[in-house]
Amino acid sequence: MAETDPRRRIPRTDRLLALPEVARASASMGERVVRELVRAVQDRARSGQISPEQVEQELLAGIGGAGAHSLRPVLNATGVIVHTNLGRAPLSAAARAALQDASGYTDVEFDLPSGQRSRRGAAARTALLEACPAAEDALIVNNGAAALLLATTALAGTGEVVLSRGEMIEIGAGFRLPDLVASTGTRIREIGTTNRTHADDYRAAIGPDTGAVLRIHASNYRISGFTSAVPVAELADVCHRADLPLVVDLGSGLLEPDPVLPEEPALGTALRDGADLVIASGDKLLGGPQAGILLGRAEVVARLARHPMSRAMRADKLALAALEATLRGPEPPVPAALHADPEALRTRTTALADQVGGQVVAHEGRVGGGGGAEVPLPGWALALPEHLAEPLRRGDPAVVGTVRDGACLLDLRCIPAAQDVDLARAVRAAQGAGAAQEDA
């Protein structure tokens, strides 16, 4: 390398690490993370993206906006409430506080008055039973897929579960629920057709190897026209005459019927109609943390809890604390967004337009996360130029909207009103960045 090579002027790693600001960051973020930041800035100088004299300044700026983790908070302006790519349900203030309290030592499996070991997650279980009185017992595992796997494995083992072909669904990222069920050796007895399944199909399929009958709600799509499905109450009668448990996977976590989602089945309704076990995710319409929720008859839940697989799937203390706080605390963000007043949304959107420009347009939100398929949620959005979508995503806070028909649409349904000022600031910053690029 020639003496005049500018790369020789790049500051050494040890000198950069010795800077007071960098040393303080190492103490809070970890030395490995800080070394990676140093190396990244040096690499930018080596490749000519910045000059050697800019390395220190760029490093200090990068450390100021970095942390020990890479996840960034996002303002969800898509209008999709349970947005899987954005982490599904945002937690309530009560749930976030519970996470903080549970992050250290806690009495998750310890009875403080007696000094003896206690049942894990007893308070979260009690909160679930209070919220869904139709259930005799509850079990909490780490996610909805784990709940389904545990239920079918514990009840059927290497025997059979009966499942309608119309319910053999695939969800996001090519994940097929029948493949999950079969992964532990449980055999699926397919019955009926894609669009029509009758009670006699179930009766004919039940045999000595049948361990359970499974019902999966097709929540992320809808089949209409010449269709037929067996109501839960009728199917429960078929199962109980054969002395078999009926397992109903409803996924979305709606505890009781909601007029906004008239066709979305509820856990309490299915249990009252005779289901022995219902399954749901905690981070969808329930509005809590990622968790798999199993509710039902005490004897069936006990069989699942005794199965060795339940140990591998149990929920951690953070999920248990957040779930209890979700159920017992004030209304979480998900149901609040679901029932948002369209006129209030229009007022907020108009106020945003008055500050940053753009056009207020009608916009339909969605439940998302495999719930309320095709149900529109009337609302409003601010239409901005499409080129602002990228600087909004890159900004602080990051804002994710919807790009459609040459516009970037910002729907305020999922953004708390208290953060409207942050959204306006982010839009102005994106507009400024866009103007600077055009000038360049």
List, for residues 61-90, the tens digit of each pLDDT value. Answer: 878 766 556 788 999 999 999 999 999 999
Which of 283, 345, 346 is CA-nearest to residue 315?
Answer: 283
pTM for this prediction: 0.86
> CA-CA distance, 219 to 204, in Å (whole number)?
27
Q: What is the mean pLDDT for each group of 10 consecutive residues in the chain (440 residues)?
A: 74 92 84 89 90 90 69 94 96 97 94 94 96 98 96 97 93 83 95 95 98 89 85 98 97 94 95 98 97 98 97 97 98 97 98 98 93 90 97 93 97 97 96 67
- Is residue 178 a contact partner of residue 163, using CB atoms and an 8 Å limit? yes
In 3-state terms the chain splits into helix, strand, coil percentages (rounded to 5) of 45, 20, 35
For residue 3, the model assigns a pLDDT of 57
In this predicted structure, what is the pLDDT of residue 65? 63
In tens, the pLDDT along 157-179 reads 999 999 999 999 887 777 888 89
- 3-class SS letters over 331-373: CCHHHHHHCCCHHHHHHHHHHHHHHHCCEEEEEEEECECCECC
CA angle 327, 332, 337 (to 5 degrees): 140
Burial of 401-430, coded b for 16+ CB within 10 Å and e otherwise, reads bbeeeebbbbbbbbbeeeebebbbbbbebb
Q: What domains appear along the chain, each with residue ranges and CATH number?
A: 6-64 (no CATH), 74-85+336-439 (3.90.1150.180), 92-330 (3.40.640.10)
What residues pair up with 410 in beta bridges, in sequence order? 382
Tens digits of per-residue pLDDT, 381-403?
999 999 999 999 989 899 999 99
Measure the CA–CA gap between 267 and 279, rounded to whole angstroms: 8
- Work out the angle at residue 315's Cα, subtended by the Cα atoms of residues 311 and 321, and round it to the nearest 5 degrees: 145
What pLDDT shows up at residue 435? 65
Angle made by CA atoms 185, 191, 194, in degrees to the nearest 5: 115
pLDDT score recorded for residue 62: 79
Judge whether 369 and 82 are in contact, CB under 8 Å: yes
How confident is the model at residue 1, as a pLDDT? 46
